[in-house]
């Protein structure tokens, strides 16, 4: 009688450990995306200053892709407020890319400032502590 109970307890513990490891890996992946996004924001800022529209558009497109993964990550965690910010930031990243590619650097800079404000708003909420 004790054998099946022990096996059940072991199975539950192993399952919990596996779930914990998966969450830790997801969190590590998300942190890596955010580190990449910071680097891309710096690159985007430099390309906008240089008025290099195509290069700025490329950086903005890469940021949008990271934000898409970020949006999905927080949707899985049911963090609706963070999902909203990620979605808004994606829209702004797309606007930056479109404006930059069209040579509308002033418009791209305006969208970039708004996107940075949305990113900062998310960071101020410290969703990683949830």
The backbone region for 104, taken as left when phi is positive above 0, alpha when psi lies in -120 to 50, beta otherwise, is beta
19 within a domain of the structure (yes/no): no
CATH number at residue 109: 1.20.120.10
Pick from 122, 67, 61, 63: nearest CA to 97: 61
Whether 82 maps to a domain, the answer reads yes
Tokens representing 117?
């404000």
Residue 3 lies in a domain: no
Tokens of 51: 């008025």
What are the tens digits of pLDDT across the range 13-48? 545 544 444 455 688 899 999 999 999 999 999 999
Query: Does 117 fall in a domain?
Result: yes
3-state secondary structure of 102: coil
The structure's pTM equals 0.81
Q: Return the pLDDT at 37.
A: 96
Is residue 5 situated within a structural domain?
Answer: no
Average pLDDT for runs of 10 along the chain of length 130: 64 48 70 95 98 98 96 94 97 98 98 97 92
The predicted pLDDT at position 113 comes to 98
Full domain range(s) for residue 121: 27-129
What is the distance between the alpha carbons of residues 113 and 119, in angstroms, rounded to a whole number? 10
Tell me whether residue 21 is in a domain: no
Per the structure, the count of domains in the chain is 1
Give alpha helix (H) positions in 50-104: 53-76, 80-101
């Amino acid at each position: 009688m004790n054998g099946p109970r022990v096996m059940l307890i072991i199975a539950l513990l192993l399952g919990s450990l596996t779930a914990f490891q998966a969450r830790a890996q997801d969190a590590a992946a998300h942190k890596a995306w955010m580190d990449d996004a910071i680097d891309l924001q710096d690159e985007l800022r430099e390309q906008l200053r240089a008025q290099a529209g195509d290069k700025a558009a490329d950086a903005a497109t890469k940021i949008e892709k990271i934000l898409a993964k970020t949006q999905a990550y927080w949707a899985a965690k049911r963090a609706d407020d963070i999902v909203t910010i990620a979605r808004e930031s994606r829209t702004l990243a797309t606007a930056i890319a479109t404006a930059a590619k069209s040579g509308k650097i002033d418009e791209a800079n305006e969208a970039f400032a708004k996107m940075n404000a949305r990113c900062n708003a998310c960071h101020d909420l410290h969703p990683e502590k949830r």
